[in-house]
Amino acid sequence: MTGNNALDLAKRLISHPSITPAAGSVFDEMEAMLEPLGFDVHRFIAGEAPDGPVENLFALRKGAHGSRHFSFAGHLDVVPPGEGWETDPFVPEVRGDLLYGRGAVDMKGSIAAFVSALHSLPADLGTISLIITGDEEGPARFGTVALMEYMEAQNITPDLCLVGEPTSVNRLGDMIKIGRRGSVNMWVTVNGTQGHVAYPHLSDNPITKLGRILTEIEAIQLDEGTDWFQPSNIEFTDLYVGNPAHNVIPAKAEGRLSIRFNDQHSGASLSDHIRAIVEKHGGELRPVISGEPFLTPPGELSGLIADAIKEVTGLNTELSTSGGTSDARFLSKIVPVVEFGLCNATMHKLDEAVALDDLEQLAKIYTLVVERALA
């Protein structure tokens, strides 16, 4: 017999292997947790190969007419566990004061803590929803985006949204995310004319051109940062020629770069900037924008979370925009959104684990946040 505490609920979710894109039994489990609490659960499949199909779940418990709407967003998919775990990553195990299992931190533990919090809240407190996708760790084309499209079709718009990503660093509650930088990856291709190195006048070396492009890009200083964002940065991530011979000038050279950028830029503006440099040297650019920057200025939701963290843990939290992207980048377009969850030290690693005390404290914090947001 399992209980409604965060530990037992986390074990139930972890026990379902749900490598991205997740589907099936883990959503059955999620539905079984929510329906007894009075939620109407809607599940649907979105998208087609290669980035789909993806299973999603939207759960809604309506409050009185005109009541505020608080939403929690998360994902049930996990990254592949890899080899070398001490125990089966999908058989949750408590050893000492830690719960081990893939997804314990990212982010089945946070989802379990929120569901546990629901058991402590009056059913008539206000409107509460859960936005749960099976594809956050993957391409994320048919997950939260599809859920938002469903919500729009149903004329559902939350007032506040908490995303349960593992934002804490050293101690639970030491950091919450009020924004994220944008991300764009770019592929640079330079074509030349193949030939023998002894006859360079009969060839056109694309590596030389690519070198000039990369040198000019490296000299760019995009900005000096803002009050809430660190300076945008450009990093070269790959160079490829594929030339098996030492005496042949290749016909093509390729490079790849990644830009993490703050809210002084957009993916499109950066693509235009880099494209002008690339094309000046005879190259071609293919950008892929995976997310735009967003910022939820310090306000009601971040204040509620910070106060609850202080009350439960004694910590003064840090408001941050550091780190990578998350599905909050999508949700920020329709609702004020803040991210807060467990400590992230072991996410995506072998023997991923969460402290038992952190699970229970997170449930208490979530309870206070929702209770006060809907009061």
Q: Show binding-site residues for Zn(2+).
A: 75, 106, 137, 165, 348
- Hunting for tokens 């229970």 — which residue is that? 360
Catalytic residue among 55, 135, 136, 254: 136
Q: What angle do CA 277, 323, 56 make, to 5 degrees?
A: 100
Catalytic residue among 55, 77, 135, 371: 77
State the Cα–Cα distance between residues 283 and 84, nearest whole angstrom: 44
Q: Is 136 a catalytic residue?
A: yes
State the Cα–Cα distance between residues 28 and 283, nearest whole angstrom: 50
**Is the previous residue joined to 53 through a cis bond, with omega within 30 degrees of 0?**
yes
Say which residues have a Cβ less than 8 Å from residue 52's Cβ, sequence separation at least 6: 21, 45, 46, 135, 141, 142
Say which residues have a Cβ less than 8 Å from residue 325's Cβ, sequence separation at least 6: 180, 181, 182, 183, 290, 291
Q: Is 77 a catalytic residue?
A: yes
* Residues β-bridged to residue 204: 193
**In whole angstroms, what separates CA 239 from the centre of its chain?**
27
State the pairing for strand pair 54-61/40-46.
antiparallel
- Name the binding residues: 75, 106, 137, 165, 348
Q: Which of 160, 217, 166 is nearest to 188 (CA)?
A: 217
Say which residues have a Cβ less than 8 Å from residue 66's Cβ, sequence separation at least 6: none
Look at phi and psi of residue 225 and say left if phi exceeds 0, alpha if psi is from -120 to 50, else beta.
left
Phi, psi of 12 (to 5 degrees): -60, -40
Return the active site residues. 77, 136
